[in-house]
Amino acid sequence: MRHSLNRVCLWLCAFVLWSMMGHALNESLHICSESHEDRRLYIGDKPRSAYAQLPVIYFVTPTYPRREQIPELTRLAYTLLHVPRLHWLVANDREGCDTFLDAQINGFGIPYTHMASPMPSEFRKAKPAPRGVANRRAALQWLHQHNLTNGVLYFGDDDNTYDLRLFSEIRHTQRVSMFPVGLIAEYAISGPVVREGKVVAFLDSWVAGRRWPVDMAGFAVSLSYMAQYPNVNMPYKPGYEEDLFLRSIGLHIDQIEPRGNNCTEILVWHTQTKNKKSAVVRLENRYMDERSNLGALFRLLEQMGVARASESEGLVATISKNGKSKSHAYFLS
């Protein structure tokens, strides 16, 4: 009887895991803009052509509209500008395309794909919501549709901080490479435990039954290895995205390649920005013309989702000189 119950339990566990994993991805993609041309003439102190033989890193960045979006993507872009042979996949959680974001990404000259990848409506009110999953699933679908079997996949959030050495470390990943991520939860660290050059366990303050208790920024995957698993997936299960993705590619612990000097160095930090609502500043429309910079400045800020000017809402804008505030008319009329 006990053996029968064990078999039933094993079958149920397998069924639940299969249900969460689902079949191969079949996402509808909405590509906003794309460029495969690298317009950087020099990267570091070498011409772009010097890196032609390197494998490509496909750097996936899930993002969503908020007032910090543009500054954080800008900061990230200036890191990626130093990385040769990289294709930036920016997946934005909104229904339609953001033409301002299109122009910003294109302006850096990095090969990129910008796609709209909204979270399905049925998940938006969930607590916690599976944020970033639809974005990463869209990027995985893009890789599948392009039949890419060379290069390396890395999930890089827009608010993380990256040491440039990370890109050299992951570029030659054979299957799955792993490394510590700083500023994760209670331990302020998450990553593999390594003995004699082999990963033997994991250090993370939230295990919760996960086979792979790692952060999304703490691993990279070879596309040639991932191509062996047609049912690669990332289900909508908050907190288990990394674990279930790595399960879907059949990972075994003895296949993991430790990076960062046997996981003794931190090459990526989970530096989160505390999000605030877009600001509303009270300024009269009559002063938003070409007589000062304010009109152009606030139009730009509104495009970015950072702030907007209003005649009837928000805090009255303080304009001062020599430590004393004056009426808007004093400076702008």
Binding residue numbers:
159
Q: Give binding residues for Mn(2+) as ranges.
A: 159
**Active-site residue identified among 169, 242, 265, 313:** 242
Token match 């990943």: residue? 173
Residue 290 annotated in active site: no
Per the document, the length of the chain is 333
Strand partners, 176: 221, 256
Q: What is the H or E stretch that residue 246 is in?
A: helix 241-248
- C-alpha 227/C-alpha 149 separation (Å) is 6
Q: Among 124, 59, 52, which Cα is nearest to 94's?
A: 124
Calpha distance 224→55 (Å, rounded): 11
Q: Provide DSSP, 87-143.
A: EEEEEE-SSS--HHHHHHHHHT---EEEEE-PPPGGGTTSSS--TTHHHHHHHHHHH
Q: Which two tokens stand for residue 6?
A: 């064990």
Catalytic residue list: 242
